[in-house]
């Protein structure tokens, strides 16, 4: 089926324009309608996707600017499909979280289109276009609809990531000048033998690394994140953590790892150390937060740190056995999806608390279990999923990442276990403060989960449980890609 991928990118854009002709009160239904269309498109793509095949599928290729080797080339492999499905899930989830005005939904739809583009483009110029295109709506969404110190947070977010993008662009120009190609697959093929040599290689590596490390974000490039997530409205935080943060991880898998195998091997221990810092320091910092949103934001840094640990472990070693490489990669892919839904759900639930209380400090609540048992119950599930309790989705990804990384980089992985422990401390502390003890006066008027809130959060939480118990359907999406990539990196 040709055109499925282009349709994915186009439908939200059309939606964004359609929104302006729709009446204000129909803004959310219209936006959701277009989400339903993209979701349908994503599911059809999944049906047409051959899970046995490793290469790109549903490819569309058109000449664009031949002079600089830019093509319109989109297609999906297992990883792209996973992220397309995640995007299709998180955006409507975010739309259901908050009722906003037309402009808000329009910008979100533009961002959605950019996300689909980023996850499916297979040519650097096209990819970079989408990559940057997602940044502007995100910036505006924080700046216009945010709370608190939103101007500052939005500017910091924009400038920081944009600076990273510039560094990345320069890095890629060096590659283009050396190879004459922007095509991901071609470059990955050349990468095995080293694309560049000498100082140029290192400069180019550093540029791309910086751009992606800011995007993920990787310690110590993460300081824009707590501010941005804290200031953004709930639904934007959900998309930022659920999907946008995955653009960085995706970039690492798609660009940095295949293009610079020798460089990564040389600086591997340092990269692992940075990942380790994300894993250990971020939850420690989360422990010291009293703002619930900031707390969840810091834990996002920790969870993405696990992804980085797995990727760097795979890339930094040339001796990894196939089973360990595949375990780590599968774990990273699972973690990408799991963190997406779990962190989005956590932001959603924090948003519900904030809507009811008007505040979101950890000590502004207390004894909620007596008043809102359902809200507390489902929130606990999301929290336990995030702290990696077996039986829920988080454990699957983390177990595989640790399994793969431990065999390859044992000492780093052994220290990373501290992250698992501190995450548990943070969540159990939060549960104690929010749910237990005597009911706080200001919370005594809270409504428990409303029907519309129930239909939003319960399916997502059930998905966490389904992945935690029988995750095969998820692995089917990317197993062939994992095998292919493990051969490429290993």
Partner 1 sequence: MSHWIIDHLWLICAVPFAASLAILSLPNGRHKSAAALAIIGQIAALVMSFFAFLPTLQMQGLRAVQNFTWFTFGSYALRLGWLLDPLAAVMLIMITLVSLCIFVFSIGYMAEDRNFVRFFAYLSFFSGAMLGLVISNSLLLLFICWELVGLASYLLIGFWIDRPSAAAAAKKAFITTRIGDMGFFLGLLWLYSRSGTLLFYDGGNGCLESAGLALLGASATFIALLIFCGAVGKSGQFPLHVWLPDAMEGPTPVSALIHAATMVAAGVFLVARVYPIFSSGAINGVTSSLTVVVWIGVATALMAALIAIAQADIKRVLAYSTVSQLGLMMVSLGVGGVAAGMMHLLAHGFFKALLFLGAGSVIHGCHGEQDIRKMGGLRRLMPVTFSTYAIGTMALSGVPLFFSGGWTKEEVLHVTAHWPASRLPYYFLLAGVVLTALYMTRQVIYVFFGDRRAASQRAHESRRVMTMPLIVLASCAILFSVVLTPAWPWLHGYLTDEPARFEIVRLIQPSLFLSLILVGAGVALGIWLYRKAGVRDRQRPADIDPLEFAQPQLFRFLENKMWIDELYARTVIAFGWMSARLSDWMDRHLWDRLVRGFGRIGQLFGTFTASVDEHGINAGIDETTAGTRGLGRLVSAAHSGQIQTYLGVIAIGVLALLLFYAWLA
Residues within the interface to partner 1 (CB under 8 A): 156, 159-160, 219-220, 222-224, 226, 281-282, 284-285, 287-289, 322-324, 326-327, 329-331, 367, 369-370, 384, 389-391, 395-396, 399-400, 402-403, 406-407, 410, 413-414, 417-418, 420-422, 424-425, 428-429, 431-432, 435-439, 470-472, 475, 479, 482-483, 486
Mapping DSSP onto H, E and C, the string for 167-193 reads HHHHHHHHHHHHHCCCEHHHHHHHHCC
Minimum gap (Å) between residue 242 Cβ and partner 1: 23
Q: Which is nearer to partner 1, 382 or 407 (CB)?
A: 407
| Residue 234: both structure tokens together | 């709930």
Minimum gap (Å) between residue 43 Cβ and partner 1: 22
- Ordered DSSP codes for 126-143: HHHHHHHHTHHHHHHHHH
Give kind and range of the element (H or E) at residue 75: strand 70-76
Place of tokens 């930022």: 240
Minimum gap (Å) between residue 366 Cβ and partner 1: 9
Backbone CA torsion sign across 488, 314, 218, 139: positive
Minimum gap (Å) between residue 260 Cβ and partner 1: 23
Q: Are 405 and 313 in contact (CB under 8 A)?
A: yes
Q: Which is nearer to partner 1, 33 or 469 (CB)?
A: 469
Minimum gap (Å) between residue 66 Cβ and partner 1: 37
Q: Which is nearer to partner 1, 116 or 139 (CB)?
A: 139
Q: Are 154 and 135 in contact (CB under 8 A)?
A: no
Q: Which is nearer to partner 1, 90 or 210 (CB)?
A: 210
Minimum gap (Å) between residue 28 Cβ and partner 1: 31
Minimum gap (Å) between residue 465 Cβ and partner 1: 11
CA 140 → CA 1, 105, 130, 223, 418, distances in Å?
A: 35, 12, 16, 19, 37
Minimum gap (Å) between residue 121 Cβ and partner 1: 25
DSSP conformation class of 290: -
Q: Which is nearer to partner 1, 58 or 407 (CB)?
A: 407
CA 231 → CA 65, 87, 121, 291, distances in Å?
A: 39, 22, 30, 11
Q: Which is nearer to partner 1, 200 or 488 (CB)?
A: 488
- Ordered DSSP codes for 335-395: HHHHHHHHHHHHHHHHHHHHHHHS--BGGG---HHHH-HHHHHHHHHHHHHHTT-TTSHHH
| Residue 167: both structure tokens together | 């560094």
Minimum gap (Å) between residue 433 Cβ and partner 1: 9
Minimum gap (Å) between residue 202 Cβ and partner 1: 20
Give kind and range of the element (H or E) at residue 218: none
Minimum gap (Å) between residue 53 Cβ and partner 1: 14
Minimum gap (Å) between residue 354 Cβ and partner 1: 21
Burial of 284 (0-12, 13-18, 19+ CB in 10 A): middle
Q: Which is nearer to partner 1, 123 or 481 (CB)?
A: 481
**Cα 110 to the chain's mean position, in Å?**
17
Contacts of 33 (CB under 8 A, 6+ apart): 15
Q: Which is nearer to partner 1, 32 or 425 (CB)?
A: 425
Q: Which is nearer to partner 1, 100 or 396 (CB)?
A: 396
Q: Which is nearer to partner 1, 112 or 423 (CB)?
A: 423
Q: Which is nearer to partner 1, 262 or 476 (CB)?
A: 476
Counted residue by residue, the chain has a size of: 490
Q: Which is nearer to partner 1, 178 or 389 (CB)?
A: 389
Q: Are 307 and 398 in contact (CB under 8 A)?
A: no
CA 25 → CA 22, 29, 110, 467, distances in Å?
A: 8, 9, 20, 36
């Amino acid at each position: 089926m040709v055109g499925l991928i282009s349709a994915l990118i186009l439908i939200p854009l059309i939606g964004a324009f359609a929104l302006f002709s729709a009446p204000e009160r129909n803004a959310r239904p219209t936006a959701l309608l277009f989400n339903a269309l993209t979701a349908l498109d994503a599911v059809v793509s999944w049906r047409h996707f051959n899970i046995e095949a490793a290469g790109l599928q549903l490819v569309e290729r058109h000449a664009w600017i031949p002079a600089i080797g830019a093509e319109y080339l989109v297609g999906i492999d297992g990883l792209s499909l996973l992220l397309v499905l995640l995007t299709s899930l998180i955006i409507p989830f975010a739309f259901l979280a908050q009722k906003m005005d037309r402009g808000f939904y329009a910008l979100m739809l533009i961002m959605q289109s950019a996300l689909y583009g980023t996850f499916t483009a297979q040519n650097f110029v096209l990819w970079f276009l989408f990559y940057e295109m997602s940044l502007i709506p995100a910036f505006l969404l924080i700046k216009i609809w945010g709370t608190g110190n939103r101007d500052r947070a939005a500017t910091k977010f924009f400038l920081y990531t944009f600076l990273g993008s510039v560094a990345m662009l320069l890095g890629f120009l060096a590659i283009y000048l050396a190879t004459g190609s922007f095509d991901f697959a071609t470059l990955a093929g050349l990468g095995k033998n080293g694309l560049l040599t000498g100082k140029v290689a290192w400069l180019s590596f550093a540029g791309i690394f910086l751009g992606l490390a800011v995007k993920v974000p990787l310690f110590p490039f993460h300081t824009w994140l707590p501010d941005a997530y804290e200031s953004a409205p709930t639904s934007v935080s959900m998309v930022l953590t659920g999907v946008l943060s995955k653009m960085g991880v995706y970039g690492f898998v798609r660009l940095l790892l295949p293009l610079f195998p020798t460089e990564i091997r040389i600086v591997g221990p340092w990269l692992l150390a940075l990942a380790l810092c994300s894993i250990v320091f971020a939850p420690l910092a989360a422990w010291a937060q009293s703002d619930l949103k900031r707390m969840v934001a810091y834990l996002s840094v920790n969870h993405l740190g696990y992804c980085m640990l797995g990727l760097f472990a795979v890339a930094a070693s040339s001796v990894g056995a196939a089973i360990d490489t595949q375990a780590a990669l599968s774990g990273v892919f699972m973690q990408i999806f799991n963190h997406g839904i779990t962190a989005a759900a956590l932001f959603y639930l924090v948003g519900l608390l904030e809507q009811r209380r008007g505040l979101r400090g950890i000590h502004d609540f207390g004894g909620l279990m007596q008043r809102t048992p359902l809200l507390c119950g489902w929130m606990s599930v999301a929290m336990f999923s995030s702290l990696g309790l077996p039986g829920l989705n988080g454990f699957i990804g983390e177990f595989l990442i640790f399994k793969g990384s431990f065999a390859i980089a044992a000492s780093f992985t052994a220290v990373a276990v501290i992250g698992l422990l501190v995450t548990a401390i943070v969540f159990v502390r939060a549960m104690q403060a929010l749910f237990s003890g005597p009911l706080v006066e200001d919370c005594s008027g809270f409504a428990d989960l409303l029907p519309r809130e129930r239909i939003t959060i319960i399916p997502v939480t059930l998905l966490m449980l389904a992945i935690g118990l029988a995750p095969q359907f998820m692995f089917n999406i990317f197993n062939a890609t994992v095998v292919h990539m493990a051969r490429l990196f290993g």
